[in-house]
Amino acid sequence: GLVYYSLEEGDQALKYWDICLKNKFPFLALYTGMADIYRTQGLIERDREVLEFYRDNISDSASIHLYLSTHFRCKGDLDSAAKELDKAITLDPTYRYIPRWKGYLAYYKDDFAETLVELQKLAEENDPEIALTGLADLGLLGWTRGKIKDLENIFRKGLALAKTAGMKGSEAEFHIELAHFYLRTGQADKALAECQSAWVAAVEATSDYWQREAVFARGLVHAESGNLAEAQKVAAELKRLVDEGLAKKESTRLYLGLMGAIEFEKKKYAGAVDHFEKVVGTLTKNPYQQSAFFLNRLAEAYFKAGNPDKAQEQYEKITRLTLGRMDDGEAYAKSYYRLGTIYEQN
Could you tell me if residue 166 is left (phi over 0), alpha (psi between -120 and 50 degrees) or otherwise beta? left
The span from the CA of 323 to the CA of 290, in Å, is 8
Radius of gyration of the chain from Cα atoms?
Answer: 20
Which pLDDT does position 6 carry in this prediction? Answer: 78
- Mind listing the pLDDT tens digit for each residue in 280-334? 988 766 666 667 889 999 999 999 999 999 999 999 999 988 777 888 888 988 9
pLDDT value of position 245: 74
Q: How many CB atoms are located within 10 Å of the residue 66 CB?
A: 25
Q: What is the pLDDT of residue 290?
A: 67
What pLDDT is stored for residue 251 in this prediction? 86
Spatial separation of the C-alpha atoms in residues 79 and 72, rounded to whole Å: 8
* SS3 sequence of the chain: CHHHHHCCCHHHHHHHHHHHHHCCCCCHHHHHHHHHHHHHCCCHHHHHHHHHHHHHHCCCCHHHHHHHHHHHHHHCCHHHHHHHHHHHHHHCCCCCCHHHHHHHHHHHCCCHHHHHHHHHHHHCCCCHHHHHHHHHHHHHHHHHHCCHHHHHHHHHHHHHHHHHHCCHHHHHHHHHHHHHHHHHCCCHHHHHHHHHHHHHHHHHCCCHHHHHHHHHHHHHHHHHCCCHHHHHHHHHHHHHHHHHCCCHHHHHHHHHHHHHHHHHHCCCHHHHHHHHHHHHHHCCCCCCCCCHHHHHHHHHHHHHCCCHHHHHHHHHHHHCCCHHHHHHHHHHHHHHHHHHHHHHHC
Dihedrals φ, ψ of 245, to 5°?
-90, 170
Among residues 338, 332, 334, 302, the alpha carbon closest in space to that of 318 is found at 332
Which pLDDT tens digit goes with each residue over 52-79? 999 999 999 999 999 999 999 988 899 9
Q: Which positions of the chain have pLDDT values less than 50?
A: none
Q: What is the pLDDT of residue 267?
A: 97
